[in-house]
Structure 1
Amino acid sequence: MNFLFVVPKIARAGESYFFPIGFGYVVSYMKHKGFNVFCLNLCHYDASIEQQLHKCIKDKHIDVICTGAMSFYWNEVSEVVEIAKKINPEIITVVGGAIITADPKLVLENMKIDYGVIGEGEITMAELAAALTSDGEIAKVRGLIFHDNDNGLTVTAPREAISDLDSLPFPHDEGLEYSKWLSIKRVELSGVGALFHDIDEKVRLHEIITARSCPYNCTFCYHPLGQKYRQRSLDNVFQEIDYLVRKYNTNVLNILDELFSFDEKRVYEFASRIKKYNIRWMAQWRADNVNEKMLKILKDSGILTLGIGVESMSDKVLKSMRKHTTKADVDKAFKLAGDAGVNAGGNLIFGDPEETEETIKESLDWRMKHPEYDIRLRWLLAVPDSQVWRHAIEHNLISDKVRFIKSKFPVINLTKISDRKFNKIRRRIMYLDFTQLFMKGKVLSSKKESDTYEGKTVYAFTVECPLCHQISRYKHPLDTIRLYTIVLCKHCYHRIKIKTKKAFLDDYNVIHGFFYHLLFMYHVYLGRFVFFRSFYNIAKGFKRIMKKN
C-alpha cells in the first residue's frame, strides 16, 4: 500500500510557519519501518489543494491519505480529507494530532475520516499501516478510533506513552520539504517577533523538541502527547543538533518543549554543551526556575530569549490557573534576568474564571510599571480538552463545539464580570497591546541602500537602545503598516519599538497609516463579532498588499 502524508495548508506559499515536527516524527518512523511513504506539504505551493491532491493521489497510486494538526486548524484538516474522498471515495483517510486526541468522537462524527490516531502517532500509525497492508485486525491496534460495522464508533485500548524518545528517528524529513521550509525568508525572527538579523544575513532557524508533555497541569493548557513528562537524553539531542549544523549550518535554535527548565542539572549541561556551537537559542521557563547562577550560564551559552510563564500578576488568578507560582516569583525572575542582561519575555493572559476587575488591574498596573519587560497581553482561549474548555462546556458558554472550533476559538467571557464590562475591558487591553507597550528606541540615522530585497527598497538604520544605551545597526526593507516597528537590540536582546517613518523615510506613507488604522479598528472593536471575523482574511490580505507595495 502507498501512504500519502499531507501537511494541511496552514500558511500560504512563502509565508513563515512552524514546521510540523510531530508530523515529521511520524513520517520518519513510517519510513524507518519500511512502508511506502509519500509526502505533500501544501504550505509550499500556490496551486489549488484539489489540483495538488489529485495529481499526487493518481500519480503515486495512493491508498491511504494521512493528515492532522492542532484543533485550531480544523477547517484546513477537514478540507484535505473531504477533497481526498471526492477524488477517490475508496481512499482510506487517517487523521492524527491534537485535533483527534482532544475529542476523538467529535471529529469522527463531523469529518470524513476512517481512522483517528489518538495520542502519539509514531507506533500507532505504523501498527495501523501494518494491519491495513496485511489485512490484520484493526481493533487490536492501540490508540485508534474508527467507524465500526454497526455505524457506531470503536475506540481501542489506549496507547502507552513512548518512554524511550531516543529510539525515534529525527523528524527533519525532506519529504516534507524541510529545506524549502528553511529557505522561507523571515524578516522577523520566529519566536522573537522582531527585526534582528539583517536582510543579507542567512538566518538558519531550526526547531527541535527535547522533551514531551509537561509535569504540570495548568488549566489553560492541553497536552496532546499525554500527561507523562519524558525527556530525550542530551546525547541524543546533540546528535540531532550535530546533524542540523552539519547539513544546514544552523545558527538559531528554537526549543519547542512545553517546559525546558524542569531539570536544572540538565539545563546546566545543555548550556555547557551548546556554547561551542555559537548558536543563539530560545526555550520556555517557569518563573520559579530562574536564578542568578543559571542566568549567568545561560547568557554565556548564547541564549537569545527566555520565555517565562507569567500569565497573571494576581496570586488569586495564578492559583486558579494551577500555575504553582506566585507574582513574587515572576517579579523576581524578570528582575534577575534584567540584572543579568538576559532578555526574558512572557504573556499576561486575561479572562480566567476567577478574574475580576481588581485582578486585571493588578496585572495591568505591573505591566505599565515595567515597559522594559517584554510582555504581551493575551486573552484566555478555551482550547479543546483543557480544564478551561471543560469549564466552558459545563457552564453552557459553548453551545456548539464544532462551530466554536471552526471559528478559531473566539474569546468568551469565563469570568463573573458582566458581558458589557468584560467587553469594555477587553477593548482597552487590546488597544494597549496593539499600540505595542515597549520602550522607545531612538533612530539615529537612516539611508537607502543601493540593493533591493524582493523589489523593495532596503534601508540601513541605526538605533540607540533605551535600556543598555548601545547602538545597533539594522538593514531591512519596510515590512509593516504599523506606526512602530519592533526591533531586538543586538547588545542586550531587549525588544524595543521605533517609529516606522523614521527608519523607512520615503516608503512609509499615508496609505500605510490608513490600513494600520483599519486593522486597529478591527482588532480592538470589530474582531469579537462573528460577521467581522469572517472578513479577517480580507484584512490580512490588505496587509500583504501593503507589504508588497
Structure 2
Amino acid sequence: MKLLLIDPPFKSFAGIFSLYFPLGLTYLAGAAKKAGFDCKILDMDAAEPKEGSLNYSREYEHYSNYVTAINDAGHPTWQLMRRLVVEQKPDFIGITALTTKFGSVIQTARFCREILPDVPIIVGGAHASTMPELTASIPEVDFVLRGESDETLPDLLHTLAKKGDLSKVGSLTWKSAGKIVHNPDAPFTQNLDSLPLPDRQALLNPEHYSSEDMGIMLTSRGCPFRCSYCFHMWERRVRFRSLDSVIEEIQQVHREFGTTQFSLKDDSFTVRRSHVLSLCEAFKKLPFKITFNCTTRVDLLDDELLAAMKDAGLAQISVGIESGSASILKQTDKDITHAQILKAAAMLNRHHIFWTGYFMIGLPTETEEDINKTITFLRCSRPYYAGLGVYNPFPGTKLFDQGVKMGLLDPQPPLEHFLTTNPKDLFFKDPKKRLLNIDHQKFLELSESASQKFHHHNSNLFNLIRRGFARRRAYMYDPALLRRDFGRGLEFLGLGNLLK
C-alpha cells in the first residue's frame, strides 16, 4: 500500500526562497518503508524550481502574498498539487502541520479530499501536537498524530489496513461517533539508532534540490533548556544518536547526492561537549572533506571546542541573542546574560568563524527603549550575519499563556482565521495591539527602522565577502551553490536587476 506525505506550500506562495527539505517527513518515510509501505514525499515548496527572496526585511509583506494565494483555489500551485497527488495514487495521505502555515494545511486537506474522497487523511507535526483538537476539527482530516510519529505512523497504517482497533494506537486523535477522541500518548523512542535513516530517495522532484539541501540532518533530538518562546515537545530531554549512526548517514548522503556541506539542526548542538568532540574527530577521518553548520547557545562554547569544530570543518554557527534589553532577555527564560553573549561573540570573532546572531523584537511588555537597546547591541556583538524576527506567539509556550492572560491573544481562534490572517498575526485578538506599551503605528515605524538597520548590516560588502569565504569548500565541490549565492548577494546589495 502507498503513503503520500505532503509538506503544504508556504514559502513559494510568499515569494521566499526555500532551503533544504522536510527532514521530519523523510524520517517518517524511512519508518513507513521499513514497515512495508511504499512512500513518497511531496514537498510543495520544491514541486517547481526554487525561486524567491532571501531578504527577510519585507517578511510581513511576503506573508500577505501567502494569504492571497492559499485562498485562490485556481492558483497554479494548487492545480499542480492536485495533479501530482492524483498521479501518486496513494492509499493514505499524511500532511505535516506547522503553525505559521496552518491555513495551507487546511486547504491541502480540502483539495486532497475533493480529488480523492475515499483516501484517509492524517495530519501530524508541531501544530497538530500543540492543538490536536483544532486540527481534528478540520472536516477533511480523519486522524491526527501527536508528537513523534516514527513508530505511531506505521502502527496507524497497519491498523487502518487491517481495520483494527484504533483505540490501541498511541498518541492518536481521531473521531468516533461524532466526537473527537484522544488516545494516551505513546512514549518517545529512546534509542534513536533503532530508527531508519531519513529516506531522501522518497522525495519527489529531486532535481529541485541542491547538494547542500540534502545535507540537513540531526545528531540528537530535544533541548534541556526552558526558553519561554519555545514549545518543549520533547519535555526538555535530549537523546543522542551514536557516532556510527551519524557517520553512516553522512557517508550515504555524500555517496548518493555528492553532498559535502551539512547542516546539523540539533536544537543545541554543543549541549554535550564530549558528543561534539567525538563527532569532530570522526569528521576528520572521513575519506572526503566536509563542512558543517550548526545552532547552539552562547553559554555552551569555549575556545578549545571552537578550535576543534573549526578544524573539523565548521563553516557557520548560529546562536540566539534575542534582545539587547536585560529585562526582555530575562523574560525569554534563556538564562543567559549580555556578558556571556559578548564573551562568546569575541571568541567567535577571534577564531574567524562565520556566525549568525538571532534577535527578536515585539515581546508583549517591550518598550521603545528596549527595541533601541537591541539595535545598539547588534553593533556591540558584531555578528557576521544578524537575523531579526518579530515575536510570534506559539501555543504550548510560556509566553503564549502570558499573552492570553494579558488579553492580547485568543487561544482558540476558528479555523477560518488561519485562512484570512497574516501568519505574523495569528492568535492576536487585534493585530494592531501586539504590545502593551507601544501603539501599533509606532511599532510599525520601529520595526521598519530596525529591519532596515539589520539589512544594512547584513548587506555590508565586507560581511558578504566573509560569508562567501566561509562557504568556499562547499563552492569547490558544488559550483552551482556559488552561482546561486552570488545572485543572492547581488539581491542583498540591491543589484538583483543585473541578473535579469
TM-score by length of 2: 0.81
Q: How does 1:425-436 map to 2 (within 5 A)?
A: 425-436=446-457
Match of 1:30 among 29, 32, 51: 32
Specify the alignment match of 1:527 in structure 2. none
**Structure with bigger RCO (C-alpha 8 Å, 6+ apart):** 2
1:359 aligns with 2:370: yes
- Of 168-177 and 139-148, the range deviating more from structure 2: 168-177
Specify the alignment match of 1:3 in structure 2. 3
Report the number of matched residues.
452
Specify the alignment match of 1:229 in structure 2. 238
Specify the alignment match of 1:441 in structure 2. 462
1:416 aligns with 2:436: yes
Match of 1:64 among 92, 96, 110: 92
Once the two structures are aligned, what percentage of the paired residues are identical? 22
1:79 aligns with 2:76: no
Deviation at 1:107, TM superposition (A): 1.5
Specify the alignment match of 2:340 in structure 1. 329
Distance 1:278 1:321 in 2: 38
Match of 2:311 among 300, 316, 321: 300
Evaluate the alpha carbon distance shift between residue 228 and residue 49 of structure 1 in structure 2; reply closer, same or farther with a 3 A threshold: same
Distance 2:110 2:251 in 1: 40
Evaluate the alpha carbon distance shift between residue 135 and residue 429 of structure 1 in structure 2; reply closer, same or farther with a 3 A threshold: same
Evaluate the alpha carbon distance shift between residue 476 and residue 431 of structure 1 in structure 2; reply closer, same or farther with a 3 A threshold: same
Match of 1:132 among 140, 154, 160: 160
1:244 aligns with 2:253: yes
1:289 aligns with 2:300: yes
Deviation at 1:327, TM superposition (A): 0.7
Evaluate the alpha carbon distance shift between residue 59 and residue 436 of structure 1 in structure 2; reply closer, same or farther with a 3 A threshold: closer
- Report the secondary structure of 2:423's partner residue: coil
Match of 2:130 among 90, 102, 105: 102
- Of 8-17 and 18-27, the range deviating more from structure 2: 8-17
Equivalent residues of 2:8, 2:108 under 8 A apart: yes
Evaluate the alpha carbon distance shift between residue 63 and residue 391 of structure 1 in structure 2; reply closer, same or farther with a 3 A threshold: same
- Report the secondary structure of 1:397's partner residue: coil
Equivalent residues of 2:20, 2:213 under 8 A apart: no
Deviation at 1:145, TM superposition (A): 0.6
Which structure features the higher share of helix residues?
2
Which structure features the higher share of strand residues?
1
> Larger radius of gyration, structure 1 or 2?
1
Equivalent residues of 2:47, 2:205 under 8 A apart: no
Specify the alignment match of 1:273 in structure 2. 282
Distance 1:262 1:8 in 2: 32
Structure 1, residues 252-272: CA drift from partner, whole Å, max 9, x if none? 000111111100111111122
Deviation at 1:286, TM superposition (A): 0.7
Match of 1:21 among 2, 23, 29: 23
Specify the alignment match of 1:113 in structure 2. 141
Deviation at 1:205, TM superposition (A): 5.1
Specify the alignment match of 2:262 in structure 1. 253
Distance 1:90 1:121 in 2: 23
Distance 1:15 1:349 in 2: 21
- Across the aligned residues of Structure 1 and Structure 2, the Cα RMSD in angstroms comes to 3.4
**Amino acid of the residue matched to residue 20 of structure 1?**
P
Deviation at 1:244, TM superposition (A): 1.3
Specify the alignment match of 1:264 in structure 2. 273
Distance 2:320 2:88 in 1: 48
- Of 277-286 and 389-398, the range deviating more from structure 2: 389-398
Evaluate the alpha carbon distance shift between residue 204 and residue 432 of structure 1 in structure 2; reply closer, same or farther with a 3 A threshold: closer
Deviation at 1:131, TM superposition (A): 1.0
Structure 1, residues 436-467: CA drift from partner, whole Å, max 9, x if none? 45644399xxxxxxxxxxxxxxxxxxx699x9
**Amino acid of the residue matched to residue 161 of structure 1?**
F
Equivalent residues of 1:392, 1:414 under 8 A apart: no
Specify the alignment match of 1:176 in structure 2. 203
Distance 1:374 1:434 in 2: 9
Distance 2:466 2:435 in 1: 42
Distance 1:404 1:441 in 2: 44
Deviation at 1:342, TM superposition (A): 1.3
Specify the alignment match of 1:514 in structure 2. none
Deviation at 1:85, TM superposition (A): 1.3
Equivalent residues of 2:192, 2:240 under 8 A apart: yes
- Report the secondary structure of 2:275's partner residue: helix
1:158 aligns with 2:185: yes
Deviation at 1:56, TM superposition (A): 4.5
Distance 1:338 1:419 in 2: 38
Distance 1:5 1:476 in 2: 31
Distance 2:245 2:331 in 1: 37
Q: How does 1:142-221 map to 2 (within 5 A)?
A: 142-149=170-177, 151-177=178-204, 179-183=206-210, 206-221=215-230
